[in-house]
């Protein structure tokens, strides 16, 4: 039986392509044992407001970026949770599915978060649960995968019993396709075409957090994002 595996670093309220990659797999691995990318999406993402696109950013310890894996990145205490909730409320309070989603987010944000990966995982679980995506998820930091870059991904595939692995589009830059096929793993490369859906606040803006799609399209969100 074919077993499709995909993986990605922890992402804060991911964009549609990340969720589509998870939904296309039988298993998903959170790559939390690697360093955090500066200016990446592990601690931030975008929403659409009446005045344009706005970033929601979780403040993290700068000294952790160079010395610790993503699983150990610490959040800087402060009022970021209140600011996030207020920004989301102002942006989406007129969206068709605002109420139930915002109540769930408020419950998550009410907790005193210390580690970024734990927050990202809890938000991902909420998003996947809302969308109806039910697949096993594991963290790389708990598995002892070995190697770097392509070799690390292939080691993960072998140990997880995958016959197919779904790379993101940047995987073409480093994947050793021949090594994968010799090991019995077929590499696929995602080319996500962002769907257009009803949005608030004027002309359509792609590549936002999946939160934007959920607020506007509710139970139709999974089918819409899979169309990409």
Do the Cβ atoms of 14 and 210 come closer than 8 Å?
yes
pTM given for the model:
0.94
How many CA atoms, within 13 angstroms, populate the side-chain half-sphere of residue 154?
19
Report the mean per-residue pLDDT for the chain. 94
Closest CA to 191 of 172, 219, 204: 172
Residues 167-224 have pLDDT tens digits of 988 888 899 999 999 999 999 999 999 999 999 999 999 999 999 999 999 999 999 9
Q: What are the sequence ranges of the domains in the chain?
A: 4-226
> Which SS3 state, helix, strand or coil, does residue 72 take?
helix
137-139: strand order across its sheet: 137-139, 27-30, 4-8, 164-167, 186-189
Do the Cβ atoms of 117 and 142 come closer than 8 Å?
no
Residue 31 DSSP symbol? -
pLDDT of the residue at 37? 85
Q: Output the six-digit token pair for 2.
A: 């074919």
Do the Cβ atoms of 9 and 118 come closer than 8 Å?
no
Residues 161-172 have pLDDT tens digits of 999 999 988 888
Task: At 23, give phi and psi (nearest 5°).
Answer: -65, -20
Asked whether the predicted pLDDT for residue 61 surpasses 70, the reply is: yes
What percentage of the chain exceeds 90 in pLDDT?
85
What's the length of the chain?
228
């Amino acid at each position: 039986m074919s077993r499709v595996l995909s993986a990605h670093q922890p992402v804060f309220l991911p964009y549609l392509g990340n969720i589509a990659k998870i939904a296309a797999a039988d298993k998903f691995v959170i790559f939390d044992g690697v360093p955090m990318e500066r200016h990446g999406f592990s601690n931030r993402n975008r929403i659409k407001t009446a005045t344009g696109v706005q970033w929601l950013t979780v403040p993290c310890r700068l000294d952790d970026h160079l010395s610790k894996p993503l699983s150990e990145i610490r959040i800087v205490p402060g009022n970021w949770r209140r600011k996030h909730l207020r920004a989301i409320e102002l942006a989406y309070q007129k969206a068709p599915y605002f109420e139930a989603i915002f109540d769930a987010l408020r419950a998550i944000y009410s907790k005193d978060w210390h580690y970024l990966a734990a927050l990202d995982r809890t938000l991902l679980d909420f998003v996947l649960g809302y969308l109806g995506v039910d697949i096993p998820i594991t963290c790389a930091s708990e598995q002892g995968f070995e190697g770097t870059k392509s070799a690390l991904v292939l080691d993960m595939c072998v140990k997880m019993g995958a016959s197919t692995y779904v790379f993101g589009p940047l995987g073409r830059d480093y994947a050793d396709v021949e090594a994968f096929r010799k090991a019995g793993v077929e590499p696929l490369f995602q080319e996500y075409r962002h769907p257009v859906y009803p949005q608030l606040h004027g002309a359509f803006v792609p590549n936002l957090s999946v939160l934007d799609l959920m607020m506007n399209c509710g139970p139709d969100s999974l089918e819409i994002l899979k169309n990409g």
